[in-house]
Amino acid sequence: MKFARTLIATVAAGLLATSAFAMTSAEHKTAKDTISATYKADKKACDALKDNAKDVCQKEAKGKEDIAKAELESQYKPSAKNTQKLAEARGDAAYEVAKEKCDDMKGNDKDVCVKDAKAAHVKAKEDAKVAAVQAKPADSMAEKKADVAEAKKDANAEKNEANYKAAKERCDALSGDAKSKCVDDMKRMYNKS
């Protein structure tokens, strides 16, 4: 089983490496079929596991498939849009796995874990948006700089909000004055009123 996965991965890597110049429709289909076969093998390997370990394994297999598909499309039809989709697929996959791993926790530890996973996901998605704006052609350098600055400003606001929520969640483990002080400190740190 392991050998088959290694062989499939090697074939897929070879297809992708040789197709960096130009990928034919037939090569694209073969690579898609290889990705699908790898996913099925990875998912089947998860059957040996139990409980949340099995769930995590399945999320990892699905994430790996989604990333491989996005990489393939990015190579088959290179564009800023497909590059953004690839970055988002990586962020989505990491988020789904991290969130699933949180299921092994309880109470505030689980809540913090989920908020941290969400903050990392928001960062990945916002970074992908900024990269897409940077890759997009513009009529002038001044317009490009303004677009990138606006995208970075929006991304930083979204990331700041997600990080604030994660930090604030950590305060919930405390009580009384310690919790109030923690929340106030987080508000100051993240410029919240």
What is the widest separation between alpha-carbon atoms in the chain? 66
- Nearest-angstrom CA–CA distance, 62 and 24: 26
Confidence category of residue 4, pLDDT binned at 50, 70, 90: very low
Mean pLDDT of 43-53: 95
pLDDT value of residue 182: 93
Confidence category of residue 51, pLDDT binned at 50, 70, 90: very high
134 near 147, Cβ under 8 Å?
Answer: no
- Nearest-angstrom CA–CA distance, 90 and 66: 8
User: Residue 180: is its pLDDT beyond 60?
Assistant: yes
Handedness of CA 13, 18, 20, 23 (dihedral sign): negative
- Nearest-angstrom CA–CA distance, 192 and 189: 8
Closest CA to 163 of 114, 125, 119: 119
Mean pLDDT of 99-124: 94
- Nearest-angstrom CA–CA distance, 97 and 41: 18
Q: Which residue blocks in 46-173 are alpha helix, DSSP H? A: 51-76, 80-102, 107-135, 141-171
- Surface-to-core class of residue 75, CB atoms within 10 Å of its CB (0-12 exposed, 13-18 middle, 19+ buried): buried
35 near 69, Cβ under 8 Å?
Answer: yes
Confidence category of residue 19, pLDDT binned at 50, 70, 90: very low
- The pTM is what? 0.77
Higher local confidence (pLDDT), 193 or 15: 193
- Nearest-angstrom CA–CA distance, 34 and 16: 11
Q: In this structure, what token pair is assigned to residue 147? A: 């677009």
pLDDT digits (tens, 9 = 90+) for 149-166: 999 999 999 999 999 999
Confidence category of residue 21, pLDDT binned at 50, 70, 90: low
Closest CA to 159 of 188, 180, 185, 130: 130
- Nearest-angstrom CA–CA distance, 126 and 79: 18
